[in-house]
């Protein structure tokens, strides 16, 4: 039997010329050094995170585009709905214009009395609530965009083409004219402006002649 010498422990083999510290560092792996497998796993997770972020941004942009298209669609539908409603109201009120004309003529002749008066006023109130507006007054300048001239004459007391009589009132809904006002117009009398100009010149010449006879205007 081999006897072990007390007080001595077996130590790892150390190459010649190496210090005991080298032997310890060789025996135990360096603390804090990450294995190569962990570094590769972290890089893979970073790449996957970038892909997820890219996909999320794309889906967000798609959602924003879809929301914008939906808002445009809603505005388009609302605009079309309002336009269809206005056209339907305009068509209905256009059919009622002859009735309103009859009511107006009856009122002018004093025939709007009794139950007929109540019905007529109710109809006019309903038409006004639906946006119908009457226009056209005597004495206003003629505007071919809202007036239709049915009669023409000359008058010495007008300085421009003027509506002198309203044969049928015009009607509009908002800014939309559904019937122009049918009117009689009068233009300035031909030569009236020339006569006025000649009269002004004669007055000026007479004033100048008087000043000359009196020795000219007095100087202050």
Please state, in angstroms and as integers, the Cα–Cα distance from residue 211 to each residue in 199, 206, 207, 217, following that order. 19, 9, 6, 6
pLDDT on residue 189: 85
Least confident of 37-51, 74-88, 125-139: 37-51
Statement: residue 133 has pLDDT above 90: yes
End-to-end C-alpha distance for the chain, whole angstroms: 161
Tell the burial category of 134 from Cβ atoms under 10 Å away from its Cβ (0-12, 13-18, 19+): middle
For the chain, the residue count is 220
Kindly give the interhelix angle for 114-129 and 36-108, rounded to the nearest 10 degrees: 160
Among 112, 84, 103, 80, smallest CA distance to 171 is for 103
Give residue 39's pLDDT.
73
- Given a contact cutoff of 8 angstroms between Cβ atoms, the answer to whether 163 and 184 are in contact is yes
Is pLDDT at 26 greater than 60 in this prediction? no
What pLDDT was estimated at residue 38?
Answer: 72
- Higher pLDDT among residues 215 and 38, named by residue: 38
Which residues touch 163 (CB under 8 Å, ≥6 apart)? 136, 137, 138, 139, 140, 141, 142, 147, 181, 183, 184, 185
Nearest to 53 by CA among 41, 45, 64, 42: 45
Lowest mean pLDDT among 39-48, 53-62, 128-137: 39-48
Q: Which band of pLDDT confidence, cut at 50, 70 and 90, is reported for residue 212?
A: low
More confident residue, 158 or 1: 158
pLDDT of residue 104: 92
Span 194-202, mean pLDDT? 54
Task: Give the confidence band of 1 by pLDDT, cuts at 50, 70, 90.
Answer: very low
More confident residue, 88 or 5: 88
Is residue 163 within 8 Å of 147, Cβ to Cβ? yes
pLDDT in tens, 107-120: 999 988 888 999 99
């Amino acid at each position: 039997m081999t006897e072990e010498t007390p007080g001595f422990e077996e130590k790892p083999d150390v190459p010649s010329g190496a210090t005991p510290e080298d032997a310890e560092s060789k025996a135990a792996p360096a603390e804090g050094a990450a294995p190569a497998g962990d570094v590769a796993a972290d890089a893979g997770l970073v790449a996957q995170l970038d892909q997820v972020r890219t996909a999320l941004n794309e889906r967000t942009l798609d959602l924003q585009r879809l929301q914008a298209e939906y808002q445009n669609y809603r505005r388009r539908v609302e605009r079309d709905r309002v336009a269809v409603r206005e056209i339907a109201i305009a068509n209905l009120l256009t059919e009622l214009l002859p009735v309103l004309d009859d009511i107006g003529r009856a009122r002018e002749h004093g025939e709007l009395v009794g139950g007929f008066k109540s019905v007529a006023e109710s109809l006019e109130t309903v038409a006004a609530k639906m946006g119908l507006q009457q226009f056209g007054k005597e004495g206003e300048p003629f505007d071919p965009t809202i007036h239709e001239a049915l009669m023409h004459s000359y008058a010495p007391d007008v300085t421009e083409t003027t509506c002198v009589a309203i044969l049928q009132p015009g009607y509009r809904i908002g800014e939309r004219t559904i019937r122009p006002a049918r009117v009689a117009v009068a233009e300035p009398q031909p030569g009236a402006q020339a006569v006025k100009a000649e009269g002004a010149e004669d007055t000026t010449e007479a004033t100048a002649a008087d000043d000359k006879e009196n020795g000219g205007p007095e100087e202050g």
